[in-house]
Chains A and B, each alone.
Chain A
Amino acid sequence: MPEPRRWWNSLRLRLTVGVSVLIAVLGLGMLVYIANVPYWAVTLHSPQPQTQVFIAPGGTSVSPPPANEPAAGIVVPGVSLREQANFWRYGLLGVAVMVAVGALAAYILVGYLLRSLESLRRTVSALSPDALPLRLPTFGREQEVQELTAAYNRFLRKVHHLLDAQRRFAADAAHELRSPLSTLRMQFGVLRHPESLTPAERQQTLSDMEAVLDGMVQTVESLLLLAQEPTPATWQDVRLADLVRTVLADVRPLAQSKGVALEADLAPEVVVRGEPRWLAVVVRNLLENAVRYNSAGGQVHVRLTAQGGQAVLRVSDTGWGIPEEEQPFIFQRFFRGEQARRVEGNGLGLALVEALVRHHGGRVSVQSTVGKGSVFTVTLPLQAAGV
């Protein structure tokens, strides 16, 4: 809960009051001290030994020798009541003046020092989310203010990062969903006049619509995953061999229908830390690509090992391979190879793989030769060997 905005919470006022109190305390202390020092310490040599000279705040006060003083030559300790009252009156007045002057000076000085803070405040409160600057300008030379500005800038960077991800998601989603939506609308339009269709055509249109919808769901899920920030809080120890085996079972029907053989060689005790769902997406995309961009009679081999503190997952295929000039682009969103256009897809698979592996602190790389096949290698930091 933030403090309510009250005038006495102002830093400027508090510093001013603080300085005033300090001056008052010091001034009074000084008076008390002076009032209690032994008389000889403040006695000045004087041509007339009977004469005592007090130094009071604000000036020199010379008091005449009292009438009832004892004989000359001896300085008598103690002063008369009247003189004491005078001392305190003038002393206190002096302290009051000092406090007033000090307070004013402090008020002005603190205001001056807080100027850069004030302009920082004004700049920050004028920020609007649709025109966020990349960084704030520098305010004043004060180190504290600069540190505050730097902290704001770090925050701004994070906000930009997040906003970018969200904007990208919105743009990508709009871009990617427009085509299937327009196809869907056309299909709906066709079904609006069912009398002009044969039952087989109606059936075909319905299953086409289903396929288009499935594709849209897939696209949205991929984009959402890409837009997400990593949340290691939900991560767990994942036994990669089990995960790969589950995904293999999912991909097997596709491989069988394409006439591609799937083989696996999985070290059982390789454990990484991560989100099982995401890691499954990584493995599935690599396996699907290896099967899809492959010809009948081809092979796909998955190998899982642990090497030097890293889990290494290698998916190799004897498929079409990727031309050298395409290789730099395959991890970009929406990139699809010239050959791959024959097959359905939207070019998000490897972008997802790359982003998810990076979130998990790992790396993915590719080696490929056209006509021979491709090898995708994912390395992830090992959590522990043997559980």
Chain B
Amino acid sequence: MRILLVEDHAPLARALQLGLRQQGYTVDVAATLEDARYALSISSYDIVVLDLRLPDGHGFALCRWLRARDERLPILILTALDRPEDIIEGLDAGADDYVVKPVELPVLAARIRALLRRAAPNPQPVLEWRGLRLDPASRQAWLNGEPLHLTTRQFALLEYLMRHPGRVISAEELLEHIWGAEADPFTNTIRVHIHLLRRKLGDDPKHPRFIQTLPGAGYRFAPPEEESHA
């Protein structure tokens, strides 16, 4: 899942970026509204975490701008402004959540999870399918009750697929949302990771139980001929 963090206070921005990355997110930082607009227009994000007092204007402007463009992208306002008027205006400007600084990282991460969940086709807190269980909050996965040991990237990959069951997802989309700016478009990163993930899941590409490859199109979790009970 890819986050755009709009925050001008550099030490805080860096701490949040690294902290959220350790939680499995890919985080891009924009220090100004202008940078944020640019980032949003060239890449796609799963959520925007937005400070309000920015050097070149107020975060509400970005909220309205985003809402005029894209109505789904979740926006979480993270600010020191704690007056009721600010909270009301922020939520009315299109934000989905309003968090007052200072905030503990686990709390922020939980709020981000909640927003991502609500925005996704599958809004379950714990994802389950055919004996495969994924708990994004505790970052643990099980297959038929046995714990699975997944790397951060593999976990993020699997979560993204499970959040969008039945949909064909292109390699570019996966690369963008999970690797973000660090992605190298000229490698077969996705192929390698899907391969490793399948091995851990004991999935056979010929007769996939979980991840189906659609050559030229992408990947699909929960192939349609099976009944999905997400």
Nearest chain B residue, comparing its CB with the CB of A207: B11
Q: Which of B15, B53, B152 contacts A183 (CB 8 A)?
A: B15
Q: How far is the CA of A227 from the CA of B161 in the complex (A)?
A: 58
Known contacts A186-B105, A190-B15; A196 and B22 CB within 8 A of each other: yes
Residues 176-228 of A at the B interface (beta carbon under 8 Å): 178-179, 181-183, 185-187, 189-190, 193, 196-197, 201, 204-205, 208-209, 211-212
Q: How far is the CA of A182 from the CA of B10 in the complex (A)?
A: 14
Known contacts A205-B18, A341-B53; A211 and B11 CB within 8 A of each other: yes
Known contacts A208-B11, A212-B11; A182 and B18 CB within 8 A of each other: no
Closest Cβ of chain B to A377, distance in Å, is 30
Q: Report whether B80 and A179 are in contact in the complex, using a CB–CB cutoff of 8 Å.
A: yes
Q: How far is the CA of A179 from the CA of B12 in the complex (A)?
A: 9
For residue B102, CB closer than 8 A to chain A, the reply is yes
Q: How far is the CA of A179 from the CA of B53 in the complex (A)?
A: 15
For residue A82, CB closer than 8 A to chain B, the reply is no
Nearest chain A residue, comparing its CB with the CB of B101: A179
Q: Report whether B53 and A186 are in contact in the complex, using a CB–CB cutoff of 8 Å.
A: no
- Interface-centre pick from A179, A186, A208, A211 (highest chain B CB count, 10 A): A186
For residue B21, CB closer than 8 A to chain A, the reply is yes
For residue A342, CB closer than 8 A to chain B, the reply is yes
Q: Report whether B101 and A182 are in contact in the complex, using a CB–CB cutoff of 8 Å.
A: yes
Q: How far is the CA of A323 from the CA of B19 in the complex (A)?
A: 39
Q: How far is the CA of A210 from the CA of B173 in the complex (A)?
A: 39
For residue B103, CB closer than 8 A to chain A, the reply is yes
Main secondary structure of the interface of A (DSSP, over half): helix
Q: How far is the CA of A196 from the CA of B22 in the complex (A)?
A: 7
Nearest chain B residue, comparing its CB with the CB of A191: B18
Nearest chain A residue, comparing its CB with the CB of B21: A196
For residue B104, CB closer than 8 A to chain A, the reply is yes
Q: How far is the CA of A180 from the CA of B102 in the complex (A)?
A: 8
Q: Report whether B16 and A193 are in contact in the complex, using a CB–CB cutoff of 8 Å.
A: no
Q: Which of B10, B19, B21, B152 contacts A186 (CB 8 A)?
A: B19
Q: Report whether A342 and B18 are in contact in the complex, using a CB–CB cutoff of 8 Å.
A: no
Report chain B residues within 8 Å CB of A197.
Answer: 18
Q: How far is the CA of A208 from the CA of B16 in the complex (A)?
A: 12
Report chain A residues within 8 Å CB of B11.
Answer: 183, 187, 208-209, 211-212
Closest Cβ of chain B to A157, distance in Å, is 33
Hey, what's the 0/1 contact readout for B1-18 against A, CB within 8 Å counting as 1? 000000000111011101
Closest Cβ of chain A to B155, distance in Å, is 13
For residue B55, CB closer than 8 A to chain A, the reply is yes
Known contacts A190-B18, A205-B14; A182 and B104 CB within 8 A of each other: yes
- Interface-centre pick from A182, A197, A209 (highest chain B CB count, 10 A): A182
Q: Report whether A190 and B22 are in contact in the complex, using a CB–CB cutoff of 8 Å.
A: yes
Residues 103-133 of B at the A interface (beta carbon under 8 Å): 103-105
Residues 14-67 of B at the A interface (beta carbon under 8 Å): 14-16, 18-19, 21-22, 53, 55
Q: Report whether B15 and A186 are in contact in the complex, using a CB–CB cutoff of 8 Å.
A: yes
Q: How far is the CA of A185 from the CA of B152 in the complex (A)?
A: 22
Q: Report whether B102 and A181 are in contact in the complex, using a CB–CB cutoff of 8 Å.
A: yes
Report chain A residues within 8 Å CB of B18.
Answer: 190, 197, 201, 205
Q: Report whether B14 and A182 are in contact in the complex, using a CB–CB cutoff of 8 Å.
A: no
Closest Cβ of chain A to B78, distance in Å, is 11
Report chain A residues within 8 Å CB of B101.
Answer: 179, 182
Q: Report whether A204 and B22 are in contact in the complex, using a CB–CB cutoff of 8 Å.
A: no
Nearest chain A residue, comparing its CB with the CB of B56: A342
Known contacts A182-B104, A193-B22, A341-B55; A187 and B15 CB within 8 A of each other: yes
Q: How far is the CA of A342 from the CA of B80 in the complex (A)?
A: 16
Q: How far is the CA of A28 from the CA of B152 in the complex (A)?
A: 109
Nearest chain B residue, comparing its CB with the CB of A210: B11
Report chain B residues within 8 Å CB of A342.
Answer: 55
Nearest chain A residue, comparing its CB with the CB of B53: A341
Report chain A residues within 8 Å CB of B22.
Answer: 189-190, 193, 196
Q: Report whether B102 and A183 are in contact in the complex, using a CB–CB cutoff of 8 Å.
A: yes
Report chain B residues within 8 Å CB of A187.
Answer: 11, 15
Q: Which of B10, B19, B80, B102 contacts A189 (CB 8 A)?
A: B19
Q: Report whether A178 and B14 are in contact in the complex, using a CB–CB cutoff of 8 Å.
A: no
Report chain B residues within 8 Å CB of A179.
Answer: 80, 101-102
Q: Which of B14, B55, B102 contacts A208 (CB 8 A)?
A: B14
Nearest chain B residue, comparing its CB with the CB of A211: B11
Q: Report whether B14 and A204 are in contact in the complex, using a CB–CB cutoff of 8 Å.
A: yes
Closest Cβ of chain A to B3, distance in Å, is 15
Hey, what's the 0/1 contact readout for A154-188 against B, CB within 8 Å counting as 1? 00000000000000000000000011011101110
Nearest chain A residue, comparing its CB with the CB of B32: A342
Report chain A residues within 8 Å CB of B15.
Answer: 183, 186-187, 190, 205, 208
Nearest chain B residue, comparing its CB with the CB of A336: B53
Q: How far is the CA of A208 from the CA of B21 in the complex (A)?
A: 17
Q: Report whether B53 and A190 are in contact in the complex, using a CB–CB cutoff of 8 Å.
A: no
Closest Cβ of chain A to B224, distance in Å, is 37
Report chain B residues within 8 Å CB of A205.
Answer: 14-15, 18
Residues 54-111 of B at the A interface (beta carbon under 8 Å): 55, 80, 101-105
Given A189-B22, A196-B22, 18 more pairs with CB closer than 8 A: A179-B80, A179-B102, A182-B103, A183-B12, A183-B102, A185-B105, A189-B19, A190-B15, A190-B19, A190-B22, A193-B22, A196-B21, A196-B152, A197-B18, A205-B14, A208-B11, A212-B11, A342-B55
B→A interface (CB under 8 Å): 10-12, 14-16, 18-19, 21-22, 53, 55, 80, 101-105, 152
Q: List 5 A-B contacts (CB under 8 A).
A: A178-B102, A182-B104, A186-B105, A189-B105, A208-B11
